[in-house]
Amino acid sequence: MPRRPPPGTVPWHRALRTLARLHHHPAPARPSRPAQLHGLLTVLDEAVSAQTPADAAVAACGEPGPVSRQTARSCGQQSITLHRLRARLQDLHLTEPDLVAVQAHAARLLAFDLWMLRESLNLAFTLHPTPRTEAARLRLNGLGRHADDLRRLRDGLRAETA
């Protein structure tokens, strides 16, 4: 009676055929530096453009008086946009060390923008406002220095292509 392999294992001849098939397919070539730079700049350009409405949404949370539902929707929409851009940024397959460093720095800056949007919403729509939280809300005036840092990061990278 022929011996059967234990459950969950692959017979050696099937494993050998699979390895032979894999051997005949070379690994995909990594993208060139200009292609990696172009992909990174494309996402960074979109991220810098998306910061204008996100900045306005954060500033609207800091306006005196009651905050509108439209402001809440705007913050939510901008959060979605920035989250998608951050995911696209992190999905780039970069191999150049300096571009990987730029990618990581830009992802941290976008994470801060997302945090600012969330915290602005929390301050603007708190269930139990206190004088302290209201004072913090009224100091909101946009994304701040991190938005400028992302723009400078993108501009420095763009200068490399010129």
Residue-number span of the structural domain to which 133 is assigned: 32-161
Any domain includes 118:
yes
Any domain includes 18:
no
Any domain includes 102:
yes
Any domain includes 150:
yes
Any domain includes 6:
no
Domain count for the chain, please give it: 1
Q: What is the pLDDT of residue 158?
A: 92
Q: What is the pLDDT of residue 2?
A: 63
d(CA 55, CA 67) in angstroms, rounded, equals: 16
Any domain includes 7:
no
d(CA 82, CA 71) in angstroms, rounded, equals: 16
Query: Mean pLDDT per segment of 10 residues, for the chain of length 162 residues?
Result: 63 66 66 92 97 96 93 96 97 95 97 96 91 94 93 94 78
